[in-house]
Amino acid sequence: MSAPDRAAPPNARRTALRGPMVWFVGSPFEQGDEALMYESDGLLIMEDGRFIERGPASALLPLWADRVTVTHHPHGLIVPGFVDTHLHLPQMAVMGSYGRQLLDWLTEYTFPNEARFHDPAVCADEASLFLDVLASHGVTTGSVFATVHPGSAQALFTQALRRNVRIVAGKVLMDRNSPEGLRDTAQQGYDDSQALIDAWHGKGRLRYSVTPRFAPTSTPAQLEAAGELVNQNPGVHIQSHLSENLDEVAWVRSLFPNASSYLDVYRRSGLLGRRAIYAHGIHLDSEEWALLSESETALAHCPTSNLFLGSGLFELDRAMSSSTPVRVGLASDIGGGTSLSPLQTMGEAYKVAQLRGHSVTAAQLWWLHTLGAAEALDMGSLVGNLAPGHEADAVVLDGAHIPLVAHRMAQVRSIHEQLFYFAACGDDRLVRETWIAGECAYNRSES
């Protein structure tokens, strides 16, 4: 191996992380544990916001030692930045609210809190805190619902651009079955969304997602307008909710009697496709599974939310079947979800699978919250992996400061056992550093 012959661009910033690290070379649902790679003492070099080299430290340090600033974590574990495929900016303040079930929970807690976002100061403060909390939990990419107020999305995009975070987000479209002050109209929602697309989509690491809240809170006219936004703006994303709760499914059936299914409501408006992702998808029939697969529409699996609200158990085994494969990424779904920690989300996803009678391996769990989640958002070539050319988002995990973790880790025999333990029992206390676009965005020792 020879030293790289290219010179660094003027003002280029080169940094590197050294230590044990994991990454993926494929899907562990297809390739098994061989899809997960492990280097016990690796070097991961970053320049201008991207990974440019990865390999054994013993091989790379002689080539790079005098040209890169190295942060060494011999007792940590360097992993890809976590990708959260579904979460709500305005709902941090209602996490852990006594739940009942979905529709009651929305009325009693969510809508009143979202009404606060008419105030630009609230939007700015909440967006700043939201991104701080994501970084402290190791989340480096998120697909985010703002509120119906354009200023909420504006504030999130402003803060995310400043921090160089990979965010997909949109203003909520909602023109019926919601409180006064939280409704727009089909035309106003279209106009506000188009203005936000023009201002933010493709700027820095930002992308816009056309965001009808869910079918019951949008008229057919608004859903058609959402489809028109997608047609007029190639490359934008789509996000909404689908079949989370049985009462919700029945409500959709009554509101859209001509649709053959809940998913068909979105299909009729042109809201399916490779850049569309729907949260939950718990109560789907065979035709809906086939339509998701055929249209390459993805699902966000939200286990902590589904368990907290008693919504049901997601059929991950069906999504991963060869007959009707559907891309899936894990998601916190705060505030119905009870934690922003991807580690806790992975642990709950394992339990949901167990309750359905099948097991999920450590490699599969981690893929679902990193590269698999990125692929569900159609960004697998950009984020979710420690691969040269990918955007330099990484997390350093280290539990040596927690006596119980240190005690358990002394018995760990393999990287797969360590990853499973972190998923089953870990939380944000394990996050030592979060790196976003090659810069340290969170350091536990400095927080």
Residue 129 confidence (pLDDT): 98
Residue 173 DSSP SS3: strand
Neighbours of 285 (CB within 10 A): 14
C-alpha 344, offset from chain centre = 14
- Do residues 37 and 149 both lie within one domain? no
- Do residues 210 and 337 both lie within one domain? yes
C-alpha to C-alpha distance for 96 and 206, rounded to whole angstroms: 29
- Do residues 227 and 198 both lie within one domain? yes
Residue 437 confidence (pLDDT): 98
The residue assigned the tokens 């390999």 is 55
- Do residues 221 and 93 both lie within one domain? yes
- Do residues 274 and 291 both lie within one domain? yes
Q: Is residue 309 part of a domain?
A: yes
Can you give the CATH number for the domain in which 416 is found?
2.30.40.10
Which of 376, 396, 424 is at the close of a domain?
376
Position 99 confidence tier, pLDDT thresholds 50, 70, 90 = low
Choose among 49, 50, 54: nearest CA to 17. Answer: 54
Q: Is residue 334 part of a domain?
A: yes
Q: Is residue 2 part of a domain?
A: no
Residue 1 confidence (pLDDT): 38
C-alpha to C-alpha distance for 374 and 85, rounded to whole angstroms: 8
- Do residues 132 and 56 both lie within one domain? no
pTM of the model: 0.96
More confident position, 369 or 114: 369
Which of 350, 376, 402 is at the close of a domain?
376
- Do residues 273 and 358 both lie within one domain? yes
- Do residues 287 and 170 both lie within one domain? yes
pLDDT digits (tens, 9 = 90+) for 255-294: 999 999 999 999 999 999 999 999 999 999 999 999 999 9
Which of 358, 376, 394 is at the close of a domain?
376
- Do residues 272 and 136 both lie within one domain? yes
For the chain, the domain total comes to: 2
Q: State mean pLDDT over 360-385.
A: 99
Q: Is residue 5 part of a domain?
A: no
Cβ distance 367 to 328 under 8 Å?
A: no
- Do residues 120 and 178 both lie within one domain? yes
pLDDT digits (tens, 9 = 90+) for 57-72: 999 999 998 899 999 9
Residue 105 confidence (pLDDT): 78
C-alpha to C-alpha distance for 299 and 282, rounded to whole angstroms: 10
Residue 447 confidence (pLDDT): 65
Q: Is residue 394 part of a domain?
A: yes
pLDDT digits (tens, 9 = 90+) for 116-131: 999 999 999 999 999 9
Is pLDDT at 101 greater than 80 in this prediction? Answer: no
Q: Is residue 210 part of a domain?
A: yes
Choose among 329, 161, 126: nearest CA to 239. Answer: 329
Position 12 confidence tier, pLDDT thresholds 50, 70, 90 = low
Q: State mean pLDDT over 231-258.
A: 97
- Do residues 61 and 113 both lie within one domain? no
Position 85 confidence tier, pLDDT thresholds 50, 70, 90 = very high
Q: Is residue 6 part of a domain?
A: no
C-alpha to C-alpha distance for 262 and 264, rounded to whole angstroms: 5
Is pLDDT at 410 greater than 50 in this prediction? Answer: yes
Cβ distance 275 to 282 under 8 Å?
A: no
How would you classify the pairing of strands 82-88 and 139-145? parallel
C-alpha to C-alpha distance for 250 and 243, rounded to whole angstroms: 9
- What domain range is 36 assigned to? 14-80+386-446
Q: Is residue 381 part of a domain?
A: no
Cβ distance 307 to 291 under 8 Å?
A: no
How would you classify the pairing of strands 431-436 and 14-24? unpaired
**Is the sign of the CA dihedral 154, 281, 340, 392 positive or negative?**
negative
Can you give the CATH number for the domain in which 242 is found?
3.20.20.140
The region that residue 11 occupies, defined by phi over 0 for left and psi between -120 and 50 for alpha, beta otherwise, is left
Residue 50 DSSP SS3: strand
- Do residues 35 and 139 both lie within one domain? no
Residue 110 confidence (pLDDT): 86
* 283-287 long-range contacts, CB within 8 A, separation 24+: 283/243, 283/244, 283/245, 283/246, 283/249, 283/312, 284/242, 284/243, 284/315, 285/261, 287/260, 287/261
